[in-house]
């Protein structure tokens, strides 16, 4: 790799990128933290450009991902490549909800994306507190604290956003005509009056409903909520987070739906087919479907209001790394599932991983947009995956719009296990992340650490993206955080460009017999042990690192990719993030970092994204991938930004949550930050 500027090598113990096991809150990071080994100095020049604002229209952002279909696209065009370098911080709001060591080692992350309703921003914090701010000044209008019980289910203290609904039958000015819904970490769905922040007393019991009673909990720390509810008509739909790999019979991953006005339950959908007459039941051998848990929807769902469809991305069934107690393909786990919004009826399901043994659940929101085709565009679902695949499906039937091949995959050599003989692989686009790591691919700063990495890879099974877990240890590449994660993809419908951010780090997984003594192996940089109760084995999870603690796979360790959907081409791919907040003296190398959060794209031709580990919000040219600007954040920006204009002729704002992520070990804080042109 060619580096511009001064390159300094410091031989020292290196940084362990903890994001390799993100979104898996049971895991206890034991990684070595220290200085990275490289630095880069570079200068960028820019030119001033005029700002066009007079008469510009309002710009909405009414749901978490801009629209119900999750495109993360804004029609605003005040900020363009020629002037984006003039962005300045215009306000910063502190929530007061900061990480406290006294709450233990739980995942604490400020990943919310606000929504704009009228002239107010609404968002939630890791402890599910809800705030309403003046969208132009950042001034507080109200706040609501649900008093989340930290002794209960909040193994994952994270609230990615809230939802809004207006009661079409209520008279203007009536309390709770406009409602803000928040799904809390301790599994309550709460309805608040948008004007005052007070509870909507007619909803459920005094403004809230609980729904953890019918999912089979043994302990409340097994179950929580991390993503916002979605509205389809007058129905509120909520998923859940389920603790991973503790045991076979974890809580059910049921999706719950409630009447938005009364809170009365409308329907539930269990991704695991419990009914013997369900056609999907045949993909679960024996009675496995009766005793297996999870397959829950912890990430973001999408809605097609015109078709009365809600699209839910399901996770892996329990436990993650051994499937001998749930043999078969395990439909509808690891699937994008289309449900009738009004009734919960299954319309179609497409499985992206059969018999998941890698925690390759669907973390990315299904994104609804048109796929350009000869004749007329086709309404599609774009489903990114942790493996780096992008499936493009017909929105009404779930059939692939771009062919998917069934390719053979390696067999398991673990007694009792039977890996799927093949997996679905889309013909286009090519994988957005590397998928194979052989000894000759080992990377290092010197011949010595590169050789050590090659030896580690050679000692394990490493046969591509679907290498099954093994007793000697197996390489998971991409790792369990992605590829793509919950940040999903952004789509520019005018330019027909899709933008995706990915993490590119290798994990390791090793199984051991439960009745034999075993422990974490430091030589494999194993971080945590999974009990996998009800199976003959325990699992050990780690990161594939050199003796210096540097990833054994070549950079970029995080990337941003753009696809031309019309011409079926990879438009560009660039590293995302630098080592400036990880290396000594703040020096940074543009090798990318693991990232969490997503991108947005605007009609002005600008892609905005935080996500990386160097506490910056960045702007890229959507056509070329050139980095145009970066703004320093007060803490890690592991969230998806949003943009809006409150009134005609007003300023276009770009806002991002900057509170960091405990497991990524980014700088922690409690800020919501707004940028705008002068």
Residues annotated as catalytic (active site), given as ranges: 359
With beta carbons less than 8 A apart as the criterion, state whether 533 and 325 touch: no
Handedness of CA 432, 438, 443, 444 (dihedral sign): positive
φ, ψ of residue 24 to 5 degrees: the values are -130, 75
9 contacts 445 by C-beta, under 8 angstroms = yes
CA distance 310 to 422: 29
Do 562 and 498 meet the contact criterion of CB atoms below 8 Å apart?
yes
**What is the gyration radius of the CA atoms in the chain, in angstroms?**
24
**φ, ψ dihedrals at 125, nearest 5°:** -110, 175
CA atoms within 13 A on the CB side of 13: 5
Q: Dihedral of CA 352/225/633/22: which sign?
A: negative
Pairwise CA distance, residues 422 & 411, whole Å: 9
Burial class of 152 by CB neighbour count within 10 A (0 to 12, 13 to 18, 19+): middle
Distance CA 105, CA 87 (A): 37
DSSP string, 235-288: EEEE--EE--SSBTTPPB--EEEEETTT--EEEEE-SS--STT-GGGGGS-TTH
Asked whether the bond before 483 is cis by omega within 30 degrees of 0, the reply is: yes
CB 606 within 8 A of CB 80: yes
Rounded Cα distance between 230 and 68, Å, is 8
- d(C-alpha 670, C-alpha 642), whole Å: 17
| Contacting residues for 345 by C-beta, under 8 A, at least 6 apart | 339
Pure H helices in 262-368: 288-291
User: Measured on CA atoms in the order 225, 230, 236, 237, is the torsion positive or negative?
Assistant: negative
Number of H helices, E strands in the chain: 2, 44
Q: What are the residues whose beta carbons fall under 8 Å from the beta carbon of 394, sequence distance 6 or more? A: 378, 379, 380, 381, 400, 401
Which of helix, strand or coil describes residue 447? helix
d(CA 247, CA 406): 31
For residue 521, what are the contacts with CB-CB under 8 A and spacing of at least 6? 510, 540, 542
């Amino acid at each position: 790799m060619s580096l511009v500027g001064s390159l300094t090598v410091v031989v020292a113990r290196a940084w362990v990128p903890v994001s390799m096991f993100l979104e898996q809150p049971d895991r206890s990071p034991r990684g070595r933290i220290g200085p990275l080994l490289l630095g880069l100095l570079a200068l960028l020049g820019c030119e001033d450009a005029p700002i066009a604002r007079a008469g510009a229209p309002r710009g909405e952002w009414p749901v978490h991902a801009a629209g119900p279909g999750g495109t993360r696209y804004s029609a605003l065009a005040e900020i363009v490549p020629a002037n984006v370098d003039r962005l300045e911080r215009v306000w910063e709001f502190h929530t007061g909800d900061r990480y406290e060591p006294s709450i233990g080692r739980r995942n604490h992350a400020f990943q919310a994306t606000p929504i704009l309703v009228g002239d107010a921003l609404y968002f939630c914090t890791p402890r599910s507190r809800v705030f309403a701010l003046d969208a132009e000044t950042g001034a507080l209008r109200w706040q609501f604290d649900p008093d989340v019980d930290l002794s209960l289910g909040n193994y994952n203290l994270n609230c990615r956003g809230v939802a809004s609904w207006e009661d079409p039958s209520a008279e203007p000015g009536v309390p709770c005509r406009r409602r803000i819904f928040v799904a809390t970490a301790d599994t309550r769905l709460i309805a608040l009056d948008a004007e005052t922040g007070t509870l909507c007393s007619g909803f459920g019991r005094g403004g809230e409903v609980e729904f953890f009673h019918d999912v089979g909990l043994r302990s409340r720390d097994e179950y929580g909520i991390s993503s916002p509810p979605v509205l389809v008509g007058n129905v509120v739909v909520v998923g859940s987070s389920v603790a991973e790999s503790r045991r076979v019979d974890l809580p059910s991953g049921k999706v719950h739906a409630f009447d938005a006005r009364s809170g009365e339950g409308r329907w539930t959908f269990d991704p695991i087919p419990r009914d013997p007459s369900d056609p999907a039941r045949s993909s679960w051998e024996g009675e496995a479907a009766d005793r297996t848990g999870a397959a829950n929807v912890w990430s973001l769902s999408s809605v097609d209001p015109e078709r009365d469809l809600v699209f839910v991305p399901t996770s892996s069934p329990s436990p993650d790394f051994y499937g001998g107690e749930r043999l078969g393909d395990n439909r509808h786990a690891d699937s994008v599932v289309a449900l009738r919004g009004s009734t919960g009826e299954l319309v179609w399901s497409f499985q992206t991983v059969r018999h998941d043994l890698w925690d390759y659940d669907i973390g990315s929101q299904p994104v609804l947009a048109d796929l350009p085709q000869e004749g007329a565009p086709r309404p599609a679902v774009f489903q990114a995956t942790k493996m780096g695949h992008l499936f493009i499906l017909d929105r009404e039937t779930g059939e692939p719009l771009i062919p998917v091949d069934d390719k053979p995959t390696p067999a398991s050599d673990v007694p009792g296990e039977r890996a799927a003989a093949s997996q679905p692989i889309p013909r286009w686009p090519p994988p957005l992340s590397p998928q194979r790591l052989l000894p000759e691919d080992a990377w290092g700063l010197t011949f010595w650490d590169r050789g050590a990495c090659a030896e580690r890879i050679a000692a394990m099974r490493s046969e591509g993206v679907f290498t099954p877990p093994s007793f000697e240890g197996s390489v998971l590449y991409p790792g369990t955080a992605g590829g793509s994660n919950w940040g999903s993809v952004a789509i520019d419908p005018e330019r027909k460009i899709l933008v995706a951010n990915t993490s590119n780090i290798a994990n390791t997984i090793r199984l051991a017999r439960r009745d034999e003594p075993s422990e974490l192996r430091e030589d494999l940089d194993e971080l945590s042990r999974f009990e996998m109760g009800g199976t003959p084995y325990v699992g050990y999870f780690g990161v594939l690192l050199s003796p210096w603690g540097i990833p054994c796979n070549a950079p970029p360790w995080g990337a941003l990719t753009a696809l031309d959907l019309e011409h079926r081409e990879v438009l560009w791919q660039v590293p995302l993030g630098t080592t400036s907040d990880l290396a000594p003296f703040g020096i940074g190398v543009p090798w990318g970092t693991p990232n969490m959060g997503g991108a947005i794209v605007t009609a002005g031709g600008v892609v905005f994204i935080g996500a990386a580990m160097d506490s910056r919000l960045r702007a890229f040219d959507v056509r070329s991938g050139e980095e145009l600007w970066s703004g320093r954040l007060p803490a890690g920006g592991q969230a998806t930004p949003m943009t809006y204009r409150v009134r005609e002729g007003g300023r276009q704002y770009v806002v991002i949550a900057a509170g960091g992520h405990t497991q990524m070990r980014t700088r922690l804080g409690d800020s919501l930050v707004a940028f705008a042109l002068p």
